[in-house]
Structure 1
Amino acid sequence: MDHFKQTVRHDAVRVRQYIISFFKWSLIAVVTGGIGGALGAGFRWAITYVTDIRTANPWLCYLLPAGGVIIAFLYRVTKLSGHADTNLIINSVRSEDKVPITLAPVIFLSTVITHLFGGSAGREGAALQLGGCIGSFIGRVVRLNEKDMPIALMCGMSGLFSALFGTPLTATVFAMEVISVGIIYYSAFLPCIVAALTAFGVTNLFGLSPTKYVLEDIPQLNIVNILTVAVIGIAAAVLSIIFCFTLEKTHQYAVRFFRNEYLRTAVGGTAIALLTLLIGTRYNGIGGEVIAEAITQGKALPYDFILKMVFTVITIGFGYKGGEIIPTFFIGAAMGATIAPLLGLSGSFGAAVGLIALFCAVVNCPIASVILSIELFGSNGLIFFAVALCVSYMLSGYYSLYSGQKIMYSKRRARYINKQAK
C-alpha cells in the first residue's frame, strides 16, 4: 500500500512538472514570437523601403564603400567586431553562452545599410541573430537556468525566421535542426512552433503576406524524371561546395590582407561598385525579382547564378551584413532554370527544385528543406523535391554556410563523428 501511494505521489509530481513546463514555455514562446513578429515586420518593411530607394536611385550602389565604413564603425564602437555573426548564435545554443543584446540594433542597422547601398546579401542572417538576441534577453528576464537558455535562443530564432519568410513550420524545424547536423532538439519543438506561429500571426496583422508560388509544369512521376531531378541535386551539391568554400576563403584572405575593418569593407564595397558599373544592378540586393522570374516564367540568364555568387561572396566575405540564404535561393533558382531545359524539364520547375536543393546543401537541414518546399510550392511534386534535396544533402559533404554548425553524425553511415562544418 505504501509503495502504491509513493508511486501515485511520484506520478502526480511528474504530471505537475509537465503541466508547469507546458504553460511556462507556451507563455515564453508567445512573448518571444510576439516581439519577434513585430520586430520582423519592422525589419521587412525597412529592407523593402531601402530597396525601393536604391532601385529608384541606382547611383547609391557606388556609395557602398562608405556604407561599409559605417558598418565597421558600428561593430567597432559596440565591441562586436570579429565574432558577432550567426555562428555566435549557433555556438551559444550548444555552449549556453550569453548573446549580447547590443547585437540586435547593430545587425538591424548594418543589414539595412548593406541593402540601401546595394550589397548582395539576404536578411535571414539578421533574422537568426535578432531572434537569438530576443530569446537570450527574455531568458535572462525570466531567469531561465543554463539548461533552458538554449531553448529560448532557438525559440527566438524560429520566431524571427517565421516573421521574415512567412514559413512557420520551416522556421520551427530549421531552428531545431541547424545547430547540430544529425541531432534535432525535440525539447524545443513546442516553444519553437508556438513562437513561429505567433510571429507569423503578428506579421499577418501588419499586412505582410507569405511568399508562395504555384507550380504548373510538374512532370509525371516516373524513373526518368526522378533521375533527371537527381541530376539537379548533384549540380546543387557541387555548387554548394564551391559557394561555401569560396565564401570562407574570401573572408579569410580579406581578414589576412586587410586587417583594418574600415579598409576591408571599403575595399569590398569598391569591388562591388566596380562590378555594378560594368554589369549593372541585377545582382545587387536580394534579387527577389530574378528569383520570381525564374520560378514563375522559367527564365534566367545562363550566367546569373555565377555572377550572383561572385557578388555575394565579396559582399559577405568583406564584412557586410545580411545573410546568405536568399542569395542561395537566387543562385539555386537561376541554376535550376538554366539546366532544367537541357534535361527535358521546364525551367520553372527546375528553378523551384534548384532553390530547395541548394538551400538543403548549404545548411544541411533536409527535414526543414522538405517542409520549405511544401510551404513555398505546395505538396504537388514533393517526391521530386525530396529526391533532389537528399542527393544534394549527401553529396555536399560537410560544407556549410555556418562554420559554427556541428556535424554530429556521418552522412555516409550511422557513425558518430562530432565534426565541425567546413
Structure 2
Amino acid sequence: MLLRAYQTGKNIIRSIAASLLIGVIVGAIDAVFGRGLLAISDFRTEHFTYLIPFLPIAGLLIVWMYHHFSEISTKGMTLVLEMGQGKRKEIPMLLAPLVLVGTWITHLFGGSAGREGVAVQIGAVVSSQIEQRFHLCGDKKKMLITGMAAGFGGLFQTPLAAAFFAIEVITAGKMEYGALLNSMVAAYTASYTSHFLGLAKFAVPIQSALNMSQPCVLGPVIIFGVIFGLTGRFFAVLLKYAKEKMSRFFRNPYVRIGLVSIPLAIILTLLYQGRYSGLGTNLIAAAFEGQTIFAYDCLLKILLTILTLSIGFQGGEVTPLFSIGASLGVIVGKVFGLPPEVCAALGYAAVFGSATNTLIAPVLIGLEVFGTDNAVVLVLVCTVAYLVNGNRSIYTAQQLEW
C-alpha cells in the first residue's frame, strides 16, 4: 500500500511538473505570437490600402506552405480534437509553426480571422511533443488537454476559462475532470508567463449591474440568451456549410483561395476601409467605449470571417465571435433600454459559448474579463444560449456524448 501511495504521489508530481513546463513554454510562444499579431494588426491598419490588394497572393503563399511542408496540418483543430478522442496517435509538429505564420500572413493582408485556434493548436503540439519525448505524465490525452488549456490561457490570460474550455470542448456533454488540475496549473502558468513577457490582458470591469428581481429585466435577459444562442448557432452552421461548398466547388485549393480572395479584398476595402478585417478588436473597443456600432456590424463580421476561413486563410474564430457578440449586445441593449456595456459583455461571452458548444468556459471568461457584478445574469444568458444552440459547433470534429 505504501509503495502504491508512493508511486501515485510520484506520478502526480511528474504530471504537475510537466504542466508547469508546458505552461512556461506555451506562455512564451503565446507572448511572441500575440505581440507579433498586435504589431501586425497595427501595421495593417496604418497601411491598409497598400496591403489589401496582395490578399490573394498572401492566400496562395499560405496554401503553398501547408501543401509543401505538411498538408495534413490544414485540418488544424480537427487534428487536435481527433487526438483527444483517441482517433489519432499524434499531431504533426509542423502544425504549430505553419498555423502561426499562416495567421500572421492572414492578418497582415487584411483577412477577417481570429487567433485562439492558433494558441490552442500550438499548446496541443507542445504538450504532445513533451509527453512523447519525456513521458512525464504517461497519459497522452491528459497532456493534450493540458496543452490546449495553456494555449488558450496564455493568449487570453483567462486561466479558469481556459482550463474548463479544454476539458469540455473535445466531447460535448462530457467533462474531462481527470485533466482539470493539470489544465489549471498549465493555464495559470502560461497566463503569468505571457503577461510577464509583455502580452496585455483584455479586461473591462463593468460597473453597471442588472437587477434580476425586476420583471422588466428577466424577460429581456432570456430573450438575449435566445438571440445570442441563435447567432452562435448560425455562425457554426454557416461556417460548416461554407467550407463544404467551397471545397466542393473549388477542388483546387490554390484556385479556391486565389480566386475568391479577390472579391473578398474588394469587399473589405469598400466596407469602411477594413473595419471588418482582422480580429474584430476594433468592434469590441467600440462596443465598450461608447463608439459607433452599426446594426449590421455583427452580420458583416460573421459573413466576412466565414468567407475568409472557408477558402483557406488561417486563424481562429473566437475573437471574431467576441466582436460579433459585443456589437450585437450593444444593439439589443439599446432596443430594450438596458445598459449597452452590460449587454455587450453578455453577448461577448454567450455567442462564444453557443458557437463552441460549451457552457462553463463562456461563463468563466465573462467573469474573468468583466468582473462578477452581473454573474447571475451571465450564467442565465449563457445557459439559454447553450440550450438554443442545439449542439452545433464551429469545431466539426467535436463529439457528442448524448
**Normalising by the residue count of structure 2, what TM-score does the alignment of the two structures yield?**
0.96
Q: Which amino acid aligns with 1:131?
A: G
Q: What is the match of residue 216 of structure 1? A: 207
Q: What is the match of residue 254 of structure 2? A: 262
* Identity between Structure 1 and Structure 2 (%): 31
Q: Matched residues in 2 for 1:286 and 1:381: separation?
A: 26
Q: Equivalent residues in 2 for 1:253-402 (5 A)?
A: 253-279=245-271, 280-297=273-290, 299-402=292-395
Q: Matched residues in 2 for 1:74 and 1:86: separation?
A: 18
Q: What is the match of residue 181 of structure 2? A: 190
For residues 316-356 of structure 1, the C-alpha deviation after alignment (integer angstroms, 9 at most, x for no partner) is 11111100001100111111111111112121111111111
Q: Matched residues in 2 for 1:62 and 1:375: separation?
A: 39
Match of 1:247 among 239, 245, 261: 239
Q: What is the match of residue 403 of structure 1? A: 396
For residues 206-239 of structure 1, the C-alpha deviation after alignment (integer angstroms, 9 at most, x for no partner) is 1223111021232222243122111111001211
Q: Is residue 66–residue 74 contact of structure 2 (8 Å, CA) maintained in 1? A: no
2:54 matches 1:63: yes
Q: Which amino acid aligns with 1:157?
A: M
Q: Is residue 151–residue 190 contact of structure 2 (8 Å, CA) maintained in 1? A: yes
> What is the Cα deviation at residue 298 of structure 1?
7.0
SS in 1 for 2:75: coil
For residues 83-105 of structure 1, the C-alpha deviation after alignment (integer angstroms, 9 at most, x for no partner) is 53112101111115200101111
Q: What is the match of residue 89 of structure 2? A: 97
Q: Matched residues in 1 for 2:73 and 2:190: separation?
A: 30
> What is the Cα deviation at residue 362 of structure 1?
0.8
Q: Matched residues in 1 for 2:340 and 2:291: separation?
A: 4
2:138 matches 1:138: no
Q: Matched residues in 2 for 1:274 and 1:329: separation?
A: 25
Q: CA separation of 1:82/1:156 partners in 2, compared to 1, >3 Å: closer, same or farther?
A: closer
For residues 270-302 of structure 1, the C-alpha deviation after alignment (integer angstroms, 9 at most, x for no partner) is 122010232121000012121022123274111
Q: Is residue 18–residue 136 contact of structure 2 (8 Å, CA) maintained in 1? A: no
Q: Matched residues in 2 for 1:307 and 1:277: separation?
A: 13
Q: Matched residues in 2 for 1:134 and 1:82: separation?
A: 15
Aligned alpha-carbon RMSD (Å): 1.5
Match of 1:230 among 222, 241, 248: 222
SS in 2 for 1:297: coil
SS in 1 for 2:208: coil
Q: Matched residues in 2 for 1:291 and 1:229: separation?
A: 21
Q: Which amino acid aligns with 2:208?
A: D
- What runs of 5+ residues in structure 2 fail to find an aligned partner? none
Give the paired residue count: 398
SS in 1 for 2:71: coil
Match of 2:33 among 43, 47, 51: 43
Q: Is residue 265–residue 318 contact of structure 1 (8 Å, CA) maintained in 2? A: yes
Q: Which amino acid aligns with 1:25?
A: S
2:190 matches 1:199: yes
Q: Is residue 110–residue 320 contact of structure 1 (8 Å, CA) maintained in 2? A: yes
